[in-house]
Structure 1
Amino acid sequence: MSVQLALSAALSGLRTTQQQAALLSHNIANATTPGYVRRDLALSASVTGGQGAGVKVDAIARKVDELLIRDARYETSRYTGQEARASALADYALVLGQPQDERSVSTLLSKLQQSFARLHDMPNDDAAQNAVVAQAVALTQGLNNAAEAARTVETDARNRLQNSVDTVNASLQRIGELNGAIASLDAKGGDTGDLRDERDRLLDTVSEEIGIRTYSRDDGQVVVMTRNGQTLLDGQLDPGEKPLTIVGNDLMANGSRLVWLGSGTPPTGTNPSPDTEIQTGRIMGYVQTVKQDMPRALAQLDELAAGIVQRFRSAETDPDMTKPGLFTDNGAAYTTTAGLASRIAVNNLVRTESWRVQSGVLALAALPAGDQTQIERFSAAFTATTGAFAPGLDLPTAATTLGDYATAMVSVQQGYRTTAESEMNSRKISADTLQSARLNRDGVNIDDEMQKLLLIEQSYGASAQVVQVAGRMIDILLQIKG
């Protein structure tokens, strides 16, 4: 090898180690930057005229494990979806309480039964009569509050759903912009690492909100789809364009319905199942809250309220069912179950004349002192098993007392909550494990980078030594020629 080639090789080594040192410094500086992927220089031998001429830099390599990223996003998306649902169920269960809690509907119903038992022993005692009225009012307020809580949770889920949709749209808009920038820079041979990092962070954000699949085109642009294949982004978006929208009760993806958010069957077409159309992400959790969890909770409350109204009305001796009994539908007689838990109230006749809990709400006059007939009829309403409850609510449907139904309702709601929280915790473990694996694989390990920096320092010193030796050799040659 000639002195010139030796000098050229050494100089290429100096330039390469300078670039490596700069890149390692960039890695170390971004070690704690979320979503940053470690960079390496892709090197190859430089050959001139068939002879080795040092080293050259081919590219700045940003190597990621796409399969690991896909799995990590999927598990994180499953976790965020379950987290959103578990949070909503917990909010409702907090108001509903445990079966043994003072505020729970089952406890309030049991206390009303106890107050009638005390009244049976003291049928003409004003305090005992007023206690029955007070407990009846507390029971209706408990049902009202539980129904209000369910509707509040549902409304909150709808609002959060809209926020998630806005987050997805904003992220996709920026991802589209990055697609264009990456494709342009790639064509010029520039470094797109930082742009790809930002795009991956945004894709992580989108996947937390809604389950997605992605694939990259040859020009570096990424295509984003829902997990069932509905395209959300292909290339770039026009300014203000929104791939996800909520129109009325329709959650739409580029004009196609993903989920019908209303009750019953959508006006046209087939109602897609959230389990197949939106499989993961917070949006799935909010959709399940809006479509399944809170409507079911309200239906359970309405069934219990209807059972209370009807069974206590049947306990009256007056056969005219068009007249309201002890419990009313907002002051009127029972007509429909839907929404009844919000409207159930104690008959104003009883609230102003407490003697009616001893003689009958519809009685024309008080029964003789000590007459327990009507009290016994009211007490029998608690133990009656006639009148089936509606099916499909995960609760008993027939041969069930009001107390058993109320206890089962509270217990099953707490069961929904604990199951959701257990699944959420399980999915969090999976998500954290894969995110840690992703960070270890693609992130920056400062100890490794520092070790590489020491090697670069040695390489730089060696190349500099070669330059010095080559320089002295050239000086000697010039002296000889002189």
Structure 2
Amino acid sequence: MSLSTALYGAFSGLKANSRAAALVSTNIANATTESYGRRELDLRSGPSGTGGGVLIDGVLRNVNPVLIADRRQSDAEMALGGTLFDFATRFETELGDSETPGSLVGRYTALENALLVAAADPSSAQRLDQVSLTADAVSTKLNALSRDVQAARLDADKEIGRQVTLLNETILRLDGINDDLTKAASANGDPAALLDEQARLLDSISEIVPLRVVQKDAGDIALYTTGGAVLLDGRPSEIGFTPVNAMDPVFTQAGGDLSGLTINGMFAKASGNGVLKGGSLAAQFEIRDEVAPARQAQLDAIARDLIERLGPGGPDATLAATDPGLFTDDGLAFVPLNETGIAGRIRINTLVGPDSGGSWRLRDGLGAATTGPVGEARLLQGISAALEAGTVPSSPALPAVNASFATHVADVTSDAAAARVRAEGQKTYLNAQNTQLKELELANGVDTDAELQRLMQIEQLYVANVKVMQTVNELMKQLMSI
């Protein structure tokens, strides 16, 4: 080996050591940075005819694409399960149970008790007023539940709009990174930073829809959903959605009141077996169009059952066939064709409402012109009996079985609790799965202990190369002195 070859080899080694030390520093600095891929130099020996030495072929970004794909799929599944769990918890909390103050069960129990107390002494105006107050509390609770369900639907609609905006913006940025990666490849540049940003952007939308990423030669990508929708392939797709400013129980996507999704102008289904299924976007559509409307239907069925039990043909013989009963549709007689949203419109009849001064009609009948015998308790007892009677509800949203009104309320309450438990179990499983995948991904990431060991090796190699150069320098001095 000539002195020039030795000098060139040591010099190229120092250059590689300097670059390797910089990469180790970058790795350690980004040990906790999400979407960061560990770097290492890609080295090879130089051809002997040109002095040998060490050549840097580039920087390798070490990631496990299969593991990352599995983790992103898990991100989407966890977001779907978590979103549905949040709604189930929200509805159950608002509905309450027998132990919760202000719950639907608790308010109806208070009405039952007030009726029994008033029937024991129907001459007491105070007891009749208490029946009016507790009956009004039942209807206002149904109103509040209906409003909250519609608020949840509106929240879901707004969240869909936010997620669609984020998807479109991210797809455009990924398309720009594709262009930058292509330029970097043609100029033999280092694409690692661009690939990190690409991975970060993909992670930022992996919860919204499950992604399938196809890598190309220059590091650029084509992007699809696992349901088959094209998000980016040569050019970015545009996802369309129009949020609403208000929500009503009668609003549906099929009826044209609510927006669906489009991809480049073509309809794209999100929930069920749609092409955008499987992530938080699908969960929001499921809440807006399926889960929340089903809860609204249950509340409407409860309200309808209450209205019909105490309406014309019920215990109050003073009511004509077209008169509103003890509970009304916003002051009017209930029409079965208008069941949708009745839970939000149910009101106690103003003739016997709180502070109306007409609570005596609970004893004498809504159609009574004047007060009757103050000791007459038959109507109060009849109201209690009608509520306790086993009847098949008219609405298909409740089980078609003979049951009391209290049983129907309890069934809806227990169904909400069961739905929350199922959603919680699914969420717990998906969280555990996602945590395990993230731990596996981190295990393949930056190990700071290993990086520090690598830095010590680089230091040793640096010292060795410096010694070679010092030795060559001494030899050159000796040759020059001859």
Identify which of 341, 355, 359 aligns with 2:360.
355
TM-score between both structures, scaled by the size of structure 1:
0.91
Give how far 1:16 is off.
1.2
The alignment partner of 2:26 has SS state of: helix
1:382 matches 2:387: yes
Residue 452 of structure 1 is matched in structure 2 by: 454
Residue 467 of structure 1 is matched in structure 2 by: 469
Give how far 1:449 is off.
1.0
Give how far 1:52 is off.
7.5
Label 1:143 to 1:200 Cα distance change in 2 as closer, same or farther (>3 A): same
Residue 114 of structure 1 is matched in structure 2 by: 113
Give how far 1:376 is off.
2.0
Residue 337 of structure 1 is matched in structure 2 by: 339
Distance 2:421 2:107 in 1: 23
Residue 262 of structure 1 is matched in structure 2 by: none
Distance 2:18 2:101 in 1: 72
Residue 185 of structure 1 is matched in structure 2 by: 184
1:300 matches 2:302: no
Residue 264 of structure 2 is matched in structure 1 by: 254
Residue 268 of structure 1 is matched in structure 2 by: none
Residue 76 of structure 2 is matched in structure 1 by: 77
1:10 matches 2:15: no
The alignment partner of 1:361 has SS state of: coil
Distance 1:275 1:205 in 2: 23
Worse-superposed segment, 4-13 or 303-312: 4-13
Contact 2:97–2:104 at 8 Å: present in 1 too?
no
Trace 1:9-408 onto structure 2 (pairs within 5 A): 9-49=9-49, 53-237=52-236, 242-246=238-242, 248-259=258-269, 273-313=271-311, 314-318=314-318, 320-335=320-335, 336-351=338-353, 352=356, 353-391=358-396, 393=397, 395-408=398-411
Distance 1:18 1:285 in 2: 50
Distance 1:299 1:470 in 2: 89
Worse-superposed segment, 275-284 or 6-15: 275-284
The alignment partner of 1:215 has SS state of: strand
TM-score between both structures, scaled by the size of structure 2:
0.91
Distance 1:29 1:375 in 2: 76
Give the AA of the match of 1:81.
Answer: L
Distance 2:459 2:220 in 1: 37
The alignment partner of 1:455 has SS state of: helix
Percent sequence identity over matched residues?
29
Contact 1:233–1:243 at 8 Å: present in 2 too?
no
Corresponding residue pairs, total = 461
Contact 2:319–2:367 at 8 Å: present in 1 too?
no
Distance 1:465 1:10 in 2: 9
Deviations 1:7-50 (A, max 9, x none): 2222221121111112212222222333221100011122223x
Give how far 1:236 is off.
4.2
Label 1:198 to 1:244 Cα distance change in 2 as closer, same or farther (>3 A): farther
Distance 1:29 1:114 in 2: 68
Give how far 1:167 is off.
1.2
Distance 1:425 1:256 in 2: 36
Give how far 1:276 is off.
4.3
Distance 1:278 1:398 in 2: 39
Contact 1:302–1:341 at 8 Å: present in 2 too?
yes
Unmatched 5+ stretches in structure 2: 244-257
Give how far 1:275 is off.
4.4
Deviations 1:264-294 (A, max 9, x none): xxxxxxxx75344333222122111101221
Distance 2:378 2:197 in 1: 77
Deviations 1:172-228 (A, max 9, x none): 111111111011111211101001101110000111222221111223221111221
Label 1:290 to 1:72 Cα distance change in 2 as closer, same or farther (>3 A): same
Distance 2:320 2:60 in 1: 85
Residue 427 of structure 1 is matched in structure 2 by: 430
The alignment partner of 2:53 has SS state of: strand
Distance 1:400 1:233 in 2: 56
Unmatched 5+ stretches in structure 1: 260-271
Contact 1:119–1:129 at 8 Å: present in 2 too?
yes
Distance 1:448 1:211 in 2: 34
CA RMSD of aligned residues (A): 2.0
Give how far 1:84 is off.
2.0
Worse-superposed segment, 380-389 or 67-76: 380-389
Residue 264 of structure 1 is matched in structure 2 by: none
Worse-superposed segment, 181-190 or 420-429: 420-429
Contact 2:241–2:259 at 8 Å: present in 1 too?
no
Contact 2:223–2:232 at 8 Å: present in 1 too?
yes
The alignment partner of 2:207 has SS state of: helix
Distance 2:265 2:441 in 1: 35
Worse-superposed segment, 174-183 or 408-417: 408-417
Distance 1:180 1:376 in 2: 79
Distance 2:231 2:321 in 1: 56
Contact 1:100–1:107 at 8 Å: present in 2 too?
yes
Give the AA of the match of 1:5.
Answer: T
Contact 1:78–1:427 at 8 Å: present in 2 too?
yes
